[in-house]
Structure 1
Amino acid sequence: MSGTVLAVTPRTQAELAAVLTDFAQHGIELLVIDGGDGTIRDVLTAAATVWTGAMPRVAIVPSGKTNALALDLGILDHWTLDQALAAARDGASIVRTPGRGRTRRHRPETPRLPVRRGRVRRGDRTGAAAHRAGAFKGFAVGVALSWAIVQTLFGRASGMWRAGNRMHVRYDSAADAGRVADTDTHRYILLASTLTRMPLGVQPFGAARDGLKTLLVDAPPRWLAAAAPLIVAGSPAKWLDRAGYHRIDTPALDVTMEAGFILDGEVYPGGALTIRQAAPISFVVP
């Protein structure tokens, strides 16, 4: 690695694309992103259109509201640029295969760029409420999920959480090779991620593993008081799937829903969304 550092602060998507194009022309060896999950999403989304081949290594200096990716990589909140550069010189890195989402039917304000890594959660109001309550970084994910469970257990029978939202979900089943699952029904929650370690130690997808993982819960949720602790703890209990708590391993799935959704802490309107694994990225780690 050379000792030259190019530092910029783009303020629009157009500026970001121009900056990354300039970086690519300079042949940078390391792309450092200072920010949270939303900033990382924006940068890697734009970078995917600039580097059509192998991307440079990526280092993260966490400073945003949610830093789930930094947590997954074992990067502490106080990690600095100097530490990231030192780790890059030492060659410390880990490869992650991020998720990639693309909306296929847009409202005018919906971003059209592919998302290189993300989580999709039903309940656009919950994530925003968690941030307003002061729950940032990894805690926001736990607060949002906990609030959804509380609203379901103690809210009105006619409440939106129990009723769920209608979703059409289609995917190739990895557990049953060659079978295509195609369902159209009301769902309580859809949670998808390529992270191997979730905030607060929760394990909604079961045992830690690579790849795109999805938790899909039918609505209204059955036996939630008994199921919720098992889901959070990553229990492999077989009855959970029969009760409507489906853990899915698939490289891609198509989802269509009218309700809004949250991706990396940002709220998007409903519509058709394709979620799939993207090309591996090498991240610098401590």
Structure 2
Amino acid sequence: MAIALMRIGVVRNPRSHANIGRAEETSTPDAVLLVEPATPEALEQDLEAFAQCGVGLLVIDGGDGTIRDVLSLLPRAFGDNPPLIALLPSGKTNVLAIDLGVPRDWTLEDAIAAARSDKAVIKLRAPLEVRWDDGRPSLRGFVFGLGAFVRATSLAQNVHKLGAFHSISVAMSVLGALIGTVMGGARDEWRAGVPLCLAVDDQDKRTADRFIVLATTLKRLPFNLMPFGPPREGMKYLEVDAPPRRLPGAFPALLKGRDSAWQEQYGYRRGDAERLRITTDQPLVVDGDVYDGGCGLTVGLAPTLRFLAS
């Protein structure tokens, strides 16, 4: 069906960084359904209404957290037939938009015009799906992290309070994490790591303290950082034993995607996976927000979605 005939639904987060103070002055084109749900329950109801109305283009106006919330509830509303998704990157961090190449200043009118164009660029991405053993609702997002990444996320939130956003906040958080880790001793909270049991696909479980565990399905990160190696499809992961060894030399090489013969020997492992099986009582991060651990969980691949890039 041509996009011109599709219903268009917009989920706007008025609390997103770029939306604060401008909601009243932002107009919505005719025939566009706009919602601003204040709770997860309201968001689920709105998405169900979108599905019943036949929405074919879903525009998410918010940051990475808003995208995660929408994608996590999308299957309940749309089942196996999700709509085409467009992003208006209005959050404090917009890592998925950077990966897709979505212009930072994209407006709703720009997204609709791009969708109606014969030259519309559509990119495919499969989100991560985090499933807890205790039955709590699963999450679908694009960046999962444990250990030092949780501390770096808290640092990023402090950076936001100083007025740094987007890629700048990512760079400042990475730099702060590096300084804190290198300057600390083996028992420092950055270097000590967190206890967990991890199995990659069908490999044997390994219980040990980890400095950091990361996973993503993104292909491009801010500032062309490549901690998972060269850009490629699928889920990529990185795990580093605690306390990290030879960190001043390993850190730059990891961020640039370079492999060294000594990396695995000193506790630096990265690769591709279909599934990560983790048992930990430590907090974890999914797309910029911290969640409780407290039980076993599985990080896998969710079905592929279509995103409008430009």
- TM-score > 0.5, shorter chain as reference: yes
Which residue in the other structure is 1:245 paired with? Answer: 268
Mapped pair 1:285 → 2:309: yes
Which residue in the other structure is 2:282 paired with? Answer: 259
Q: 1:170 to 1:53 in 2, by over 3 A?
A: same
Matched residue of 1:283: which SS?
strand
The answer to whether the 8 A contact 1:95-1:280 is kept is yes
Higher relative contact order, chain-length normalized (CA < 8 Å, sep 6+): 1
Find 1:62's aligned residue among 85, 89, 97.
89
Matched residue of 1:205: which SS?
coil
| Aligned counterparts of 2:169 and 2:144: Cα–Cα separation in 1 | 13
The answer to whether the 8 A contact 1:122-1:262 is kept is no
Which residue in the other structure is 2:238 paired with? Answer: 215
Which residue in the other structure is 1:132 paired with? Answer: 158
The answer to whether the 8 A contact 1:119-1:262 is kept is yes
Matched residue of 2:32: which SS?
coil
Q: 1:278 to 1:8 in 2, by over 3 A?
A: same
In the TM superposition, structure 1's runs of 4+ consecutive aligned residues that sit over 4 Å from their partners are: none
The answer to whether the 8 A contact 2:127-2:140 is kept is no
Give how far 1:116 is off.
4.1
Specify every segment of 5 or more residues in structure 1 that has no aligned partner in the other structure, as ranges: 173-178
RMSD (Å) for aligned C-alpha atoms: 1.7
Find 1:101's aligned residue among 127, 130, 134.
130
| Aligned counterparts of 2:155 and 2:174: Cα–Cα separation in 1 | 12
| Aligned counterparts of 1:66 and 1:181: Cα–Cα separation in 2 | 36
Give how far 1:8 is off.
1.0
The answer to whether the 8 A contact 2:141-2:287 is kept is no
Q: Which aligned pairs between 1:197-212 and structure 2 lie closer than 5 A?
A: 197-212=220-235
Which residue in the other structure is 1:118 paired with? Answer: 143
The answer to whether the 8 A contact 1:116-1:278 is kept is no
Find 1:165's aligned residue among 181, 186, 194.
194
Q: 1:140 to 1:192 in 2, by over 3 A?
A: farther
State the Cα deviation string for residues 212-269 of structure 1 (Å, max 9, x = none).
1110001111111111110011002232122111002111111122221221110112
The answer to whether the 8 A contact 2:129-2:140 is kept is yes
Which residue in the other structure is 2:53 paired with? Answer: 26
Matched residue of 2:55: which SS?
coil
Matched residue of 2:285: which SS?
strand
Give how far 1:117 is off.
3.1
Q: Which deviates further from its counterpart, 198-207 or 150-159?
A: 150-159
Q: 1:143 to 1:262 in 2, by over 3 A?
A: farther
Give how far 1:126 is off.
2.7
Q: How many residues align?
A: 276
Find 2:110's aligned residue among 61, 78, 83.
83
The answer to whether the 8 A contact 2:68-2:139 is kept is no
Q: 1:157 to 1:171 in 2, by over 3 A?
A: closer
| Aligned counterparts of 1:220 and 1:227: Cα–Cα separation in 2 | 13
Specify every segment of 5 or more residues in structure 2 that has no aligned partner in the other structure, as ranges: 8-30
Q: 1:68 to 1:183 in 2, by over 3 A?
A: same
The answer to whether the 8 A contact 2:124-2:306 is kept is yes
State the Cα deviation string for residues 46-91 of structure 1 (Å, max 9, x = none).
1122122121100000001110000000012111111111111123
State the Cα deviation string for residues 85-144 of structure 1 (Å, max 9, x = none).
1111123211112211122237xxxx6233243322424333122222234223333333
| Sequence identity (%) | 38
